[in-house]
Amino acid sequence: MKYSDYAKWTNRATRWIEDHFATLRDKPVRAQTKPGEIAARLPTHPPEHATDMETIIADFEQIVPDGITHWQHPRFFAYFPSNAAPASMIAEQLTNAIASQCMLWQTSPAATEIEEVMIDWLRQAMDLPAPFKGVIQDSASSATLSAILTMRERATGFTGNDQGLSAQGRLRIYCSAQVHSSIDKACWVAGIGQDNLVKIPTNADYQMDPKALQEAISADRAAGHVPAGLVLCTGGTSIGACDDLPPLLAIAKAEDLYTHLDAAWAGSAMICPEFRPLWAGAEDCDSIVFNPHKWLGANFDCSIQFLRDADIQRRTMGLRPSYLETPQAQEITNFNEWTVPLGRRFRALKLWFLIRAYGLEGLRSRIRNHVAWTKELEAKLRAHPDFTITTDSRLALFTFQYTPKGGDPDQASADLLQRINDDGRIYLTQTLHEGQYVIRFTAGQFDCTRDDVMTAYDVITELAG
């Protein structure tokens, strides 16, 4: 295939996409194929000779759709959403065609400058103060790793990169048990170690206990350890836990700890003023991550890391070999210096299209609907004698158990979840909460309607039957 044939084949692909969206509601949400079934449809050896595009696309149509779990299905209520608003998809198609590697300002000034403006638009949309700058990363995991590395370098007087950690005291990082596993992984990768990620107990609302945090820090100092940072969460992955930030940030300030707030999912809701009390105090964090690819509507991948003083992270990760030097270094931003990977895609374009095509009001109204409909479903299930709400909704997430008389709730819930996902009309996933197997429900797909959420009630109660 040649570049000059692009329109022909992209039109062919577009016709498939149109049909895909027109029929999506009738497809099972979770893929129904068995392990190995898709791989078995591919030849085991690579072709020596060129295949024509018609055959390639026909094979795609034959083989791939069956093995897709439809994250853009309006009745996807599993995990957290991973959205792709149509306007953002169009931008992503343009990004694909431009295919620039945007590591330096010079390697595509538009990518860097639009990224800076989009970060600032979102900063304003969430009412964070002006000193916050930021960078677009591929995932919250990468942003969190960047923050943990920054904690490490700051606590070692910026000697860790040069000397390694063998001569250091044990660096200690604090979080609650409600944070995402990406915090643990960042501590593995950064050389901090799982044993030095201290999980602080929580109160009845699953918020980190400030007194326990202070005690842990004091005990660590007494033992000669080096407290380095505090990781907080707004909207933890399991049940949506939100730390009460101000008392924890006050301790971090007094103890000189760098702070990172993981709001990967819930951050998108902070474009709505009425939800901001959930992260009151966020403006005092050093680093905040949220994923527009989760709930805002931007195609995967798009994760925003806001930084109150970006120089600390640039000092941690800004490596400037001579082959990357460019003129104008004083006036421009080279975003590769803010992140672990050097190469970077033009991710800001999809935010520009997204925010303009729907406006902040359009994006807010979707999030508000998801929250309201989730609460409506929660109330209906609460009123049903065979169901128990195990954690109340936080934004658009609650958990429940199937608790029929005489049954074991864990087993009954696990069996019901399997029946639901084999049925295919909706898709839900589970978590382990306080040792119990609970089913999570979260609404957030861009085209999800109230009917879709109410269908979940019908499917859940019918299959519990």
Ligand X SMILES: *Cc1c(COP(=O)(O)O)cnc(C)c1O
Where does this chain bind ligand X (CB under 6 A)?
80, 139-141, 180, 182, 233, 235-237, 262, 264-265, 291, 303
Residue among 358, 351, 428 at smallest CA distance from 387: 428
**Residues in the chain, how many?**
465
Angle at 246 between CA 396 and CA 397, to 5 degrees: 10
CB of 408 to ligand X, least distance (A): 29
Residue whose CB is less far from ligand X, 232 or 416:
232
Residue whose CB is less far from ligand X, 80 or 306:
80
Q: Using CA atoms, how far apart are residues 343 and 305, in angstroms rounded to an integer?
A: 17
Residue whose CB is less far from ligand X, 72 or 291:
291
* 301 preceded by a cis bond (ω within 30 of 0): yes
DSSP 408: -
- Other residues' Cβ atoms within 10 Å of the Cβ of residue 392: 14
CB of 186 to ligand X, least distance (A): 10
Residue whose CB is less far from ligand X, 102 or 186:
186
Residue whose CB is less far from ligand X, 227 or 236:
236
- Other residues' Cβ atoms within 10 Å of the Cβ of residue 399: 24
Residue whose CB is less far from ligand X, 104 or 288:
288
CB of 84 to ligand X, least distance (A): 15
CB of 278 to ligand X, least distance (A): 13
Q: Decide: 158 and 315 in contact? Cβ < 8 Å.
A: yes
Q: H helices then E strands: how many in the chain?
A: 13, 11
CB of 176 to ligand X, least distance (A): 12
Q: Using CA atoms, how far apart are residues 89 and 97, in angstroms rounded to an integer?
A: 13
Q: Using CA atoms, how far apart are residues 212 and 12, in angstroms rounded to an integer?
A: 60
Distance in angstroms between the alpha carbons of the first and the last residue of the chain: 54
CB of 135 to ligand X, least distance (A): 14
CB of 241 to ligand X, least distance (A): 9
CB of 182 to ligand X, least distance (A): 5
> Residues 198-229, buried b or exposed e (16+ Cβ, 10 A)?
bebebeeebbbbbebbbebbeebeeeebebbb
Residue whose CB is less far from ligand X, 29 or 233:
233
- Other residues' Cβ atoms within 10 Å of the Cβ of residue 320: 11
> Residues 105-114, buried b or exposed e (16+ Cβ, 10 A)?
bebbeebbeb
Residue whose CB is less far from ligand X, 182 or 391:
182
Residue whose CB is less far from ligand X, 233 or 459:
233
CB of 326 to ligand X, least distance (A): 30
Q: Using CA atoms, how far apart are residues 460 and 171, in angstroms rounded to an integer?
A: 47
Q: Using CA atoms, how far apart are residues 434 and 161, in angstroms rounded to an integer?
A: 39
